[in-house]
Amino acid sequence: MSLADKTAVIVGGGSGIGRRVALEFASEGAKVVVGDFYLEFAEKTASEIKSRGGKALGLKIDIRSEAEIKDMVKKALEGFGTIDILVNVTRAASLVKMVDLSEEQWDTVVDYNAKGVFFLCKAVAREMVKNNRGKIIIVSSTAGVSGQEQLSHYAASMGAVIGFTRSLGLELAGKNIKVNIICPGFIENTELKLGAQLKAGPPVDEDTIVLFSPLHQIEGEPEAIAKMAVFLASERGDYFSSETYRLWDDEVTFSRNMTIVTKKAL
């Protein structure tokens, strides 16, 4: 699944799932632009890629800002000439009961997740349309499909992201741009840490994630998401678009036809 000569923009690539995605893309030969809310983390992942012989650029990006997104796109084009792949992993969440949820907390999470994806896809898709090719992969959440207690605002934003992304895939199909969604279960607390940073809710620890998982355990590994993203970005993913892939531990299900693809197949 070589991605040699491809340029991938990985937003949220500074830590957790996003970092694993960035490293996986680099290992497949892609030049990687690592965007992250935390510049220190973005630069650290980029440095790790370069230390392994790859090409990478680390940038700070708040996807709520169209200006920062446009600047990231500009620097990606200046550094590597084109953008072939976009993977968005960054998300914000907070654990708050709906009856206690403030308007500010709702707006913070929904704006970051839903509006942020809109801004990001809009800017990158414009460049992909010029080249008549591209792959867009958005990491959402099973909460956007099934819902989750104390995460109603997060689930609403993830549902919006799923609907938007599938619609975008249909809209861009004639331009040879494939758009897909990966929906993992509870794997890490990166989005909750970011939510706390944005003052959308209190900080939580790893045990809190396990408690709110319906399986009462972490549901999979970042590596599985990274490999799925690489698959969709590669030539093997050329025939998939506007699909939602639910990842639960060791298998992936297609939400439309419920075909199951195990991690071994990737």
Q: How far is CA 228 from CA 27, 38, 114, 189, 223, in A?
A: 14, 25, 22, 20, 9
Query: Tokens 């794997």, residue?
Result: 187
pLDDT at 82 over 80: yes
What DSSP letter does each residue of 198-230 carry, written as one string?
A: TTSS----HHHHHHHSTTSS--S-HHHHHHHHH
As a whole number of angstroms, the distance between CA 19 and CA 48 comes to 10
Domain boundaries, the chain: 7-265
pLDDT-derived band at 34, boundaries 50, 70, 90: very high
Strand-pairing partners, residue 97, are none
Give the class (CATH, top level) of 7-265. alpha beta
Strands 251-254 and 244-248: antiparallel
Query: What tens digit of pLDDT does each residue of 137-184 get?
Result: 999 988 888 888 888 999 999 999 999 999 999 999 999 999 999 998
Catalytic residues: 154
Helix or strand run (H / E) with residue 31: strand 31-36
CB 11 within 8 A of CB 21: no
Q: What pLDDT, on the 0 to 100 scale, is given for residue 258?
A: 32
Query: What tens digit of pLDDT does each residue of 218-260 get?
Result: 445 678 899 999 999 999 999 999 999 987 554 454 444 333 3
As a whole number of angstroms, the distance between CA 87 and CA 237 comes to 14
